Amino acid sequence: MNPYIDAFREPTPARALARRITDLASQIPKDRRPFRIMEVCGSHTMAIARYALRDALPPWIELISGPGCPVCVTDPGYLDAAIELAHRGARVFTFGDLLRAPGSRETLTDARAGGGDVEICYTPLAAVEAARADTERPVVFLAIGFETTIPPAIRAAVEAHHAGLKNFSLLTAFKLIPPALEVLASDASLQIDAFLLPAHVSAIIGATAYEGFVRVHRRPCVIAGFEPLDILYGIENLVHQALAGQACVENQYSRVVRPFGNPRAQNLIEEWLEPEDAVWRGLGVVPRSGLRLRSDRAEFDAARRFALKITAGRPHPACRCGDVLRGILHPQACPLFGVACTPERPVGPCMVSSEGSCSAALRYRVSMRNVE
Amino acid sequence: MCLGIPLKILAVETPGCGFVDLDGAAQPVDLSLIENPRPGEYVIVHAGFAIERLDTAEANARIQWFRELR
């Protein structure tokens, strides 16, 4: 029993919110339908599928999952480099959902079956502990993720630094949400009318971090928590903004997100990292959408320490994850979905990660409504 | 990966380290990203780290507002 989770899952207010959205959405003129809302957060994707929130909305409100799952947007070339590290004798630590994500030729699971030392951890601090326990062997933490996961990974490097460990490093592929929003909003073919902004990314960067984006791109934006009532209320507010002709950043997750975010986390990022262009599956190269270790922190950079060349990987030729991540293909419309590509034998990362759109669609049998 | 959930701080031990209540079990948590954490407060825990504190006044007000919806 957790009062701050359970209270946001109660069915009676959920039904009331769904009715309010339906009433409000009836005012959306026919020529502005469908009204397409994109979320850019794997936990939103999961919650929307798990609680069948699409089924509670009128059919002309479309919820589109964008590139919000960190594993899904990671280029296979990064996995190739991680796999190479395992083959070269490093102890590779990773969050579990990266384990079966396909590289160009194999997965980390394959590398492990082939004798590579690949270990799952729930916190990057476990990798630091492993480095401390055996200082002879190099330990690499696979540091992917958005703004939420970056401070924990860097804190692990700080711990290693304070402990004087010379055998700990990060293989980074950090990504930033605001530059991705720019790309998504600039692509008219995606026809995104509004954005449901991520909860815990926003906890780090703050609600004001999106103001420049909204000023330029003029889309309604609401920061919402992950629980069903949060999401439904977020949707109601997005429709409200659209009908009023407004486009602003509303923070409906003020119990966690502050206007200027978490200064400790931001200082850590500032001290250790610098912007770089990053490759996103589905979006291609997005300028200054990634963060890499600064050159004065090079000793913690696995790519530099192991002289790894991270090149663009080769996804499976039939995989449509890129289109799924841009919201132009519904997971069920992919010819591989549930047949050639399943959670047991995934072809693309969106079926691997528990936060992936395809995995969510299959696990919760998301209705085929709105499939083009 | 993004499993941030609100958990109550049970104890603050060395600076920056403590325990949170995870379904009745005391789970170690790194509190170094939070200013002056105190036992009894709720924090959002992600990848073993408290990334932000939960404002319980804001949360309770929102819960109350949702409960009044019919």
A91-118: pLDDT as tens digits:
999 999 999 999 999 999 999 999 999 9
Mean pLDDT taken over chain B: 93
Give the whole-angstrom CA distance, residue A24 versus residue A28. Answer: 8
Q: How confident is the model at residue A368 (pLDDT cuts 50, 70, 90)?
A: low
CB atoms within 10 A of CB A30: 6
Find the CATH number of the domain harbouring B20: 2.30.30.140
Chain A CB contacts of B67 below 8 Å = 7, 10, 13
What is the per-residue pLDDT across B18-30, written as a single tens digit (0 to 9) for each? 999 998 999 999 9
Q: Say what the ipTM of the complex is.
A: 0.96
Name the residue among A248, A183, A229, A241 with its Cα closest to residue A40: A183
Nearest-CA distance A295 → chain B (Å) = 24
Cross-chain residue pair A13–B52, CB shorter than 8 Å: no
Residue of B nearest to A12 (CA): B70
Q: How many CB pairs under 8 A join A and B?
A: 119
Q: What is the reported pLDDT for B3?
A: 67
Chain B CB contacts of A70 below 8 Å = 1-2
CB-CB contact of A101 with A75 (8 Å):
no
Cross-chain residue pair B2–A355, CB shorter than 8 Å: yes
| Whether B25 contacts chain A with CB within 8 A | no
What is the per-residue pLDDT across A141-182, written as a single tens digit (0 to 9) for each? 999 999 999 999 999 999 999 999 999 999 999 999 999 999
Residue of B nearest to A263 (CA): B33
Instruction: Find the helix packing angle between A150-162 and A125-133, rounded to 10°.
Output: 20
**What would the mean pLDDT of A175-203 be, rounded to a whole number?**
97
Mean pLDDT taken over chain A: 95
For chain A, which residues make up each domain, given as ranges? 1-364
Nearest-CA distance A232 → chain B (Å) = 11
B49 → closest Cβ in A12, A97, A152: A152
CB atoms within 10 A of CB A287: 12
Q: What is the reported pLDDT for A101?
A: 94
- Residue A199 CB partners (closer than 8 Å, separation 6+): A41, A43, A44, A223, A224, A225, A226, A230, A253, A256, A257, B4
Q: Indicate if the alpha-carbon torsion angle A150, A153, A159, A163 is positive or negative.
A: negative
Local structure of A139: helix, strand or coil: strand
Window 33-62 of B, Cβ < 8 Å to A: 33-35, 42, 44, 46-49, 51-52, 54-56, 58-59, 62
| Whether A271 contacts chain B with CB within 8 A | no
Nearest-CA distance B47 → chain A (Å) = 5
Q: How confident is the model at residue A372 (pLDDT cuts 50, 70, 90)?
A: very low
Q: Tell me A302's DSSP state.
A: H
Cross-chain residue pair B63–A155, CB shorter than 8 Å: no
Q: What is the reported pLDDT for A344?
A: 87
Residue of B nearest to A122 (CA): B47
Nearest-CA distance B36 → chain A (Å) = 12
Give the whole-angstrom CA distance, residue A81 versus residue A311. Answer: 8
- Output the pTM of the full model: 0.96
Please give the structure tokens belonging to residue A47. 């919650």
Q: What's the residue count for chain A?
A: 372
What is the per-residue pLDDT across A200-249, written as a single tens digit (0 to 9) for each? 999 999 999 999 999 999 999 999 999 999 999 999 999 999 999 999 99
Window 26-65 of A, Cβ < 8 Å to B: 41-43
% of chain A with per-residue pLDDT over 90: 94
- Cα atoms found within 13 Å of the Cα of residue B43, Cβ hemisphere only: 32
**What would the mean pLDDT of A286-296 be, rounded to a whole number?**
98
- Cα A287 to chain centroid, rounded: 18
Cross-chain residue pair B1–A7, CB shorter than 8 Å: no
Q: What is the reported pLDDT for A166?
A: 97
User: How many helices, marked H, and strands, marked E, lie in chain B?
Assistant: 1, 5
Domain limits at B62?
A: 5-69
CB-CB contact of A36 with A64 (8 Å):
yes
What is the per-residue pLDDT across A326-351, written as a single tens digit (0 to 9) for each? 999 999 999 999 999 998 889 999 99
A13 → closest Cβ in B7, B54, B69: B69
| Whether B16 contacts chain A with CB within 8 A | no
Q: What is the reported pLDDT for B13?
A: 93
Q: Tell me B43's DSSP state.
A: E
| Whether B20 contacts chain A with CB within 8 A | no
Alpha-helical segments (H) within A33-176: 42-50, 70-73, 76-87, 108-113, 125-133, 150-162
Q: How confident is the model at residue A367 (pLDDT cuts 50, 70, 90)?
A: low
Q: What is the reported pLDDT for B2?
A: 46
Residue A371 has pLDDT above 50, yes or no: no
What is the per-residue pLDDT across B7-65, written as a single tens digit (0 to 9) for each? 999 999 988 999 999 989 999 999 999 999 999 999 999 999 999 999 999 999 999 99
Give the whole-angstrom CA distance, residue A231 versus residue A223. Answer: 9
Cross-chain residue pair B1–A17, CB shorter than 8 Å: no
CATH number (3.30.70.80, 1.20.1250.20, 3.40.50.300, 3.40.50.11740) of A1-364 reads 3.40.50.11740
Cross-chain residue pair B47–A95, CB shorter than 8 Å: yes
Please give the structure tokens belonging to residue B42. 């709720």
Number of structural domains chain B divides into? 1
- Cα atoms found within 13 Å of the Cα of residue A224, Cβ hemisphere only: 31
> What secondary structure, in 3-state letters, does A187-251 show?
CHHHCCCEEEECHHHHHHHCHHHHHHHHHHHCCCEEECCCCHHHHHHHHHHHHHHHHCCCCCEEE
A240-259 burial by CB neighbour count: b if 16+ within 10 A, else e?
A: bbbbeeeeebbbbbbbbbbe
| Whether B70 contacts chain A with CB within 8 A | yes
CB-CB contact of A34 with A62 (8 Å):
yes
Please give the structure tokens belonging to residue A22. 């339906």
| Whether A91 contacts chain B with CB within 8 A | no
**What would the mean pLDDT of A357-372 be, rounded to a whole number?**
76
How far from each other are the two terminal CA atoms of chain A, in whole angstroms? 41
Between strands A221-223 and A194-197, the pairing is parallel
